[in-house]
Amino acid sequence: MDQIDKSLWINKLWDPLEKIDDSPLHSKRQGIKVAAYCRVSLDSLGLSHSLESQVSHYTHVINSRDNWTFVGIYFDNLVTGRKASLRRGFTRMLRHCEEHRIDLILVKNVSRFSRNTKELIEVIERLKEINVAVFFEAENITSTRSETAYLLKTYASIAQGEIEAASQAIEWGHEKRMLKGMVNIGHTYGYDKTKVGNETVITINEEQAQVIRQIYQMYLDGMSINSIAVELTRKGIKTYFGKELWGSVTVRSILSNISYTGDVKARKMTKDLMSDKRRSSEGLRDQYFIENHHPAIISRELFDRVQEMRNKNKRQSKPQQFRPNPLSRRIHCGNCGQNFRRNRIKPWDYFRCVSAITNKNLCSSPTIREDLMVQIMLQAFRVRFDSQDSKLIKMLRRMLIRINKNDYFEFHRLKALTQIQLAKRLKDIQFTDEDIIQMERDYDKFENRLVEIEDDRKYRLDSIKWLENIKTFEEFAVQANIEYLRAWILSIDIYSKDDYKIYWIDGKETEVGSCEPIKPNREEYSAELNSKGELQVDKKAEFDVVTSIQITSKKGGDLNCVDEEDANMIAERKLEPNLMVKNIQKQLSNSVVMRTSIPVVREQKLKVAAYVRVSTELEQQKTSIKTQYSYYLYLILKDPRYTLADIYIDDGKSGRTTEGRPEFKRMMEDCKAGKVDLIITKSLSRFARNTVDTLTYLNMLKSLDPKVEVWFERENILSLSEKSNVLINLLSALGQEESVNIGDAIAWGKRSLAQRGIVRPTVQGYGYEYDKNKEWIINDEEAKIVRRIYDEYEKGKTMRAIRELLIAESIPTPGGQKAWCDTTIGRILRSEIYRGNYIYQRFHTGFTLVKERVENTGELPMYFIENHHKAIIEEEQWERVQKLVEANEKKRKKSHEKYPDDNGKNESFAKKFYCGKCGSLVGYSRAINRRRNNAEVRCWRCYQSSKGHCDSMQLKQDYIEENFSQLMMDIKFNLAFSEYIDTYIEDLRIKPEEEMQRAILEKQKDELNQKLYEAVEDELGRKGKDAKLVDHLTDEIMKIRERIVDFMAREEQQAEIEEVIKSIRKAMAIFTNDRKDDIDYYLKAPDFQAELFERFVEKGTILEDGQIIYRFQSGFEWKSPINYKAFQEQEKRRKKAKYQLEKKEFLKGPEVKALLKYCEEPKTITEMREYLPRYLTNPNFKKFIVNPLMRKGVIKETIPDKPTSRLQKYYSVKK
């Protein structure tokens, strides 16, 4: 990448005011907070060595910089780099960046940082927003440098590609094994796997197989899945992993596992490599069914009967709304060690041990209602803390703040891991295997605690904010709920409602009551088998699950069933399940909610913009730009959640298309640049009345990161709401129909008048003018010209002759020009208006959103209105002239052979070039020379030149194509162009004094915006609203806004020019030869590139010598290095070179070879001519054929001393 390209990237990315403070990697400011990130694997001594070396390296690097402060080393082990959320150290580091604890991150390479391209780019972009840089050592890339974005994407793609390739290789290995019938069935209850050599032998575990058979039989006997799990647990049968508690999920998986038939179905599920999400493989990739893969425990018939029964028993599950459980995996049963699970029995949540849910006899722990759980947690507070202490609330708040601030655990993690690795090195010297195992267990507990503390952070933040308004513990107890109390409580062990142990966030513990496990009243297991070897089952256990529930409330103790009072309470609640909702709705009905408020769930302020479009239709509510500007300004500034981004205004623009709406386009670009979070607009029809545009731009805004939302005020629709998609599609389509229908309604009204003979054409014909009543009257001066045209044509003059006559007398055309044309003369001679009639709707604007005038060929009715106005030409003369025109047209068609279809016109040049002498458009012409094998010549010439009114030359199309190619080479290699474009860009660049001026204007605009807001606010409360001040302030804002927009236009033009130059040089990168010939022609120029021409060239001005000055759409101009004379010289040289080549090839061709054979006997020139009949009359036969052959030595003269002798003959010589 050259320096120019680098400067282009830098100028586009960095604001001049922010260039003072460079990347933290190179900045000299003091106190830069630096951290390092490592992702390593826990491979015996490898981790220790890796961490030690990296810690040493990063410590040395950071300490060597006086202005750097070492924050720490964040690391993750045994975790893939595919997904950031799986890496705790990485996510903690990113959070610390958000909290401004880190300015710079050092990392070994891109693949260590992330192997997910999308995530890496998102993280880097977010870090840029908060001014945090990442330095990748191996690649020597700093994330904040603008030119590194592409490199980062490339390296990230390579890193992602590596793991994708590895994954595909592993998958292919699995597939090859599947094709051989070898599938890993995993850990399957009922089977044992033994390794024999390189093969795995699967055998039946008979004891477990009996349980499998009995599970299938119990299900066929009518027992539910839950009942089967209860029975297995009650009998003390262990699961595959040795657990005593069977769950319904385990039983269900056994009943659905086809592997027990000896068959295997492989590839049932597919896991996404990047997201780790699993889904069914059906329809995504091939699945494999392998029969008789291993010994069967049950028959296929039995399995099919069970599946059929399961399908019959399957209930239609209702979709349930996800409700996060703040105590998930945090309440443990002190009696059996299982977790407590939350269940919902409206209107309360209940918490119960998993074992007790399975069977009440398995565990004696109580069921605890939500309100009692709050009281249990509050009681723990009273036991540990002095509830009468006036400083208790402040102390509790400080505890949470301290935990949040001191949540940097990386040093402790490193220390623990280093100690483990050191112990492994000193194994059998200072440490035993038991010591190392215990250290690893302690480390796992420590990591789990860190995970819990990290996950609880959201609760701590909410509670810190909650405590701001709490003064006493009494208020604390009244307002407390589980979510708030969870901030201090890490987990709870519950033995009964009065006995429990609390584990606090600061590592302390509090026991309430007697924390001794209560043994359940469980039957002792004896694995009794009947005479057939089957397990004895007590089917009565099925009913124990559904007949009782254990409830503990604030009023009662531990019960095995619901007491009367609680039952009545629950029954009453069930009578009115919406009681709370009704109360809330009643309260809300008494409050006033502003209809303009928008729900926003963000902590930081939204950057809000408004879009205003005043179209050609009348505004019904806000009839001027000023009023709409004032309205939206007030709407945005009054909301504390919003900050004003900008108000974009398109004045007098139709919404049919986005073309011609510059402010709309600027708003879209600002959205892409992250300057806007929310757009407010009056309605869908204000946004666009073109359905395609509406949906295209809304989808584009949704695809941005972060997404940009649009609020359509009138329809009260937020574009990001899923429910609004149908409405947006429907209403935008209606908006488009409204735009079309308005035009149709106007046209229909005009047609209705035309049916009655009433038309008001917007343009009157030549020879007529309007009177005060908008009626056509004759313009005497112009009418004389019309009559003269008709008279001269009747006398036999051609249209061309009439044209020359009018031009010679300097009579102006209908358009006020000097030069008449045949088309204008013909139109006057054919027009109905000159005999007093009018044809309405000969042309129309089509049936599309883009207005384009097309000829009416029957799509719409045409109306012939007789005697619409006074005639200039008598009826009889007009009819005679029409017959003459028709007769002359027939003669012309007979005398002129029709040209074949033209497929050689370069459409890129249409309406692009203008004459440098007269300024008229340069058009295309084609000539066919029928005398030279219908050779076609395609040229471009000035329209006035074709009429003889301009002496500019016509240019071959080939020349213009070559001219542009030479221009592209000149832009790349000509140093003068580089100097010119640098100067041009520098002139556009906002100077420091202009930057200060703009800042002053922005400040003035902000101040006026605030004054305008206050003025509107003041007037809102008054009865007689005075708009004078508001109108004055809005006028001032509009003037300042125009000046600011001028600055923005310069910046946009500068960026556009830089992008154009960059694209041209990129497209021309493969052309490296800048050699010219003596007429300044680049010898290795490319062919004409239509894409570059159409993309960048706005117009070309052709000078007198054929040179072309190109004006690019971004505003700069450059002249081509060649003129038409140089092109003609180049053509001559090419023709000469081509002729020499053809001559050379001819002398090697078959005709000359035949001639040489013919001349083995001496022949005269005449005989040689006759042998080649097509050269019989060619006077240059000897010059161009015989003499070159003689110089080559293949033909010789019989009389070499007398070359001109009349007896001279020639013979061929074999070489």
Assign 3-class secondary structure to 817-860: CCCCCHHHHHHHHHCHHHHCCEEECCEECCCCCCCCCEECCCCC
What is the rounded CA–CA span in Å between residue 571 and residue 933? 104
The torsion angles phi and psi of 697, rounded to 5 degrees, stand at -75, -35
Please state whether beta strands 288-290 and 191-196 pair in parallel, antiparallel, or not at all (unpaired): unpaired
Instruction: Provide the H-helix boundaries in 1071-1149.
Output: 1090-1096, 1124-1147
Q: What is the 3-state secondary structure (H, E, C) of 1045-1058?
A: HHHHHHHHHHHHHH
**pLDDT at residue 890 greater than cutoff 90:** no
pTM greater than 0.85: no
The identity of residue 668, as a single letter, is M
Measure the CA–CA gap between 271 and 264, rounded to whole angstroms: 19
Q: Which residues contact 689 (CB under 8 A, 6 or more apart)?
A: 654, 655, 656, 735, 736, 738, 739, 849
Q: Could you tell me which residues come within 8 angstroms of residue 927 by beta carbon, excluding any fewer than 6 positions away?
A: 936, 937, 939
What contacts 916, CB < 8 A, 6 or more positions away? 952, 1101, 1102, 1103, 1104, 1109
**Helices assigned H by DSSP within 456-562:** 457-466, 473-479, 482-485, 541-547
Most confident of 153-157, 344-348, 511-515, 690-694: 511-515
| Of the candidate ranges 315-329, 711-725, 1017-1031, the one whose mean pLDDT is the lowest | 1017-1031
pLDDT (mean) for 609-638 = 71
Reported as a single tens digit per residue, the pLDDT across 575-604 is 333 322 232 233 223 322 223 333 333 457
Burial track 1045-1082 (b if 16+ CB lie within 10 A, e otherwise): eebeebbbbbbbbbebbeebbebbeebeeeebeeeebb
- Identity (one letter) of the amino acid at 1104? E
End-to-end CA distance of the chain: 59
- Mean pLDDT on 406-429: 76
Query: Looking at residue 787, what is its pLDDT?
Result: 92
Which pair of tokens denotes residue 240?
Answer: 């595959």
Helix/strand/coil (H/E/C) assignment for every residue in 37-91:
EEEECCCHHHHHHHHHHHHHHHHHHHHCCCCEEEEEEEEEECCCCCCHHHCHHHH
Assigned CATH for 3-171: 3.40.50.1390
**Predicted confidence (pLDDT) per residue in 22-71, tens digit:** 567 767 778 889 988 888 754 434 444 566 677 677 777 887 888 888 88
Which has the minimum average pLDDT: 624-633, 719-728, 888-897, 945-954?
Answer: 719-728
pLDDT in tens, 528-542: 444 344 444 444 333
Quote the pLDDT of residue 678. 93
**Distant-in-sequence, close-in-space partners of 977: CB < 8 Å, separation ≥ 6:** 970, 971, 1118
What span, in angstroms and rounded, lies between the C-alpha atoms of 156 and 121? 8
Class of the CATH-defined domain 606-747? alpha beta
Q: How many whole angstroms separate alpha carbon 470 and alpha carbon 466?
A: 7
CA 337 to chain centre: 49
Dihedral of CA 1178/1180/1182/1184: which sign? Answer: negative
Task: Please provide the size of the chain in residues.
Answer: 1215
Residue of 976, 905, 968 lying closest to 1097 (CA atoms): 968
Checking if the pLDDT of 423 tops 90, the result is: no
Contact present, 701 and 742 (Cβ < 8 Å): no
Give CA–CA dist 1030/1012, Å, rounded: 6
- Higher pLDDT: 623 or 92? It is 92
The DSSP element (H or E) to which 675 belongs, if any, is: none
Closest CA to 1185 of 1152, 1159, 1139: 1152
Mean pLDDT over residues 1142-1163, rounded?
A: 87
| Amino acid identity, position 242 | G
Question: Residues 871, 872, 877, 881: is their CA dihedral positive or negative?
Answer: negative
Q: Angle at the Cα of 1115 (from 1113 to 1121), degrees rounded to 5? A: 90
Q: Using pLDDT thresholds of 50, 70 and 90, give the confidence band for residue 626.
A: confident
The pair of structure tokens assigned to 561 is: 């069933």
- At 1068 the pLDDT is 87
The whole-angstrom separation of Cα 82 and Cα 91 is 13
pLDDT category at 624 given cuts 50, 70, 90 is: low
Q: What is the DSSP string of 128-146?
A: HHTT-EEEETTTTEETTSG
Cβ burial 1009-1038 (10 Å sphere, 16+ → b, else e): bebbbebbeeeeeeeeeeeeebeebbeebe
Report percent pLDDT > 90 for the chain: 11
Highest mean pLDDT among 31-45, 201-215, 677-691: 201-215
Mean of pLDDT over the chain? 77
CA-based radius of gyration for the chain: 45
Contacts with 384 (C-beta within 8 Å, 6 or more apart), sequence order: 502, 504, 508, 510
For residues 106 and 1181, what is the distance between their CA atoms, to the nearest angstrom?
83
Domain residue extents for the chain = 3-171, 186-313, 331-522, 606-747, 757-896, 913-1127, 1148-1212
Q: Given the structure tokens 């012309």, which residue do they identify?
A: 892
Please give the Cα distance from 994 to 1000 (Å, whole number).
Answer: 9
% of the chain at pLDDT higher than 70: 77
Q: Pick from 32, 115, 24, 103: which is nearest to 76 by CA? A: 115
Q: Which two tokens stand for residue 393?
A: 């609330």
Is residue 725 packed enough to be buried (19+ CB in 10 Å), middle (13-18) or exposed (0-12)?
A: middle
Q: Which of 660, 384, 366 is nearest to 509 (CA)?
A: 384
With 90 as the cut, is the pLDDT of residue 889 above it? no
Which tokens go with 234? 């009650």
Provide the 3-class DSSP secondary structure of residue 551: coil
pLDDT at 723: 54
Q: What is the pLDDT of residue 272?
A: 67
Q: For domain 757-896, which architecture applies?
A: Alpha-Beta Complex (3.90)
What is the Cα 1138 distance to its own chain's centre?
Answer: 53
| Residue whose C-alpha is closest to residue 156's, from 211, 95, 111, 223 | 111
Closest CA to 120 of 88, 79, 155: 155
Torsion, Cα 666 667 668 672, to 10 degrees, reads 100
Taking the C-alpha atoms of residue 755 and residue 1150, their distance in angstroms, rounded to an integer, is 79
Q: Is-contact 233 248, C-beta < 8 A?
A: no
For 167, phi then psi, to 5°, come to -65, -40
CATH of 186-313, one of 3.30.360.10, 3.40.50.620, 3.90.1750.20, 3.40.50.720: 3.90.1750.20
Q: CB–CB of 309/317 below 8 Å? A: no
- pLDDT tens, residue by residue, 1029-1047: 777 888 888 888 888 888 8
Q: What's the pLDDT tens digit per position in 500-531? A: 999 998 888 999 988 888 776 554 443 444 43
Q: How far apart are CA 228 and CA 232, in angstroms?
A: 6
Which range is most confident: 209-213, 691-695, 730-734?
A: 209-213
Same fold across 3-171 and 186-313: no
Q: Name which of 82-86, 271-275, 706-710, 1202-1206 the model is least confident about.
A: 271-275
CB 1057 within 8 Å of CB 985? yes
Nearest alpha carbon to residue 27 among 133, 143, 148 = 133
In this predicted structure, the answer to whether residue 755 has a pLDDT above a threshold of 70 is: no
Which residue, among 694, 687, 671, has the nearest Cα to 608 in the 3D structure? 671
The sign of the CA dihedral 719, 724, 726, 730 is negative
Summarize the confidence of residues 150-154 as an average pLDDT.
69
